[in-house]
């Protein structure tokens, strides 16, 4: 479901790559609402439509994003980024379709069955 959501929504896809995965790679494994808010503000500078979103809508978007991350087991209840462990078969399927989609996951390598915890 995480891949499907990222395929559909550029904002979510970019958040996964630019914030979640990058924080994981630099060993800053905590994800906060402030991270989302900073990302949102940065994107709104380039996307006028985001400037039109009300505060309550932005908070719902943030809440939905964090819920999806938790349901995909990419974020713990405490806000820790959880390393992704893709099977070799699943990683191969993703790579054959679009290798860039692996960047939507917090992991250190492309086709790893286990990541550093």
pLDDT in tens, 70-84: 999 999 999 999 999
DSSP sequence for 39-76: HHHHHHTT-HHHHTS-HHHHHHHHHHHHHHHHHTTSB-
CA dist list (Å): 95 to 49, 90, 110: 32, 9, 8
Least confident segment among 25-34, 43-52, 55-64, 68-77: 43-52
Coil, strand or helix: which one is 11? Answer: helix
Q: What is the pLDDT of residue 112?
A: 42
Confidence of residue 111 (pLDDT cuts 50, 70, 90): very low
Model confidence, pTM: 0.84
Q: Output 48 or 14, whichever has higher pLDDT.
A: 14
Percent of all residues in the chain with a pLDDT value above 90, rounded to a whole number:
77
- For the chain, the straight-line distance linking the first and the last C-alpha, in angstroms and rounded, comes to 23
């Amino acid at each position: 479901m995480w891949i499907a959501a990222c395929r559909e929504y550029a904002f979510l896809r970019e958040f996964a790559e630019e914030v979640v995965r990058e924080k994981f790679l630099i060993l800053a494994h905590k994800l906060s609402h402030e991270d989302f808010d900073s990302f949102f503000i940065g994107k709104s500078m380039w996307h006028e439509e985001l400037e039109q979103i009300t505060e309550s809508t932005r908070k719902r978007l943030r809440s939905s994003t964090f819920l999806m991350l938790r349901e995909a087991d990419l974020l713990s209840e405490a806000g820790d980024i959880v390393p992704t462990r893709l099977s070799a078969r699943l990683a191969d399927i993703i790579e054959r379709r679009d290798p860039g989609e692996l960047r939507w996951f917090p992991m250190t390598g492309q086709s790893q069955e286990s990541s550093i915890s």
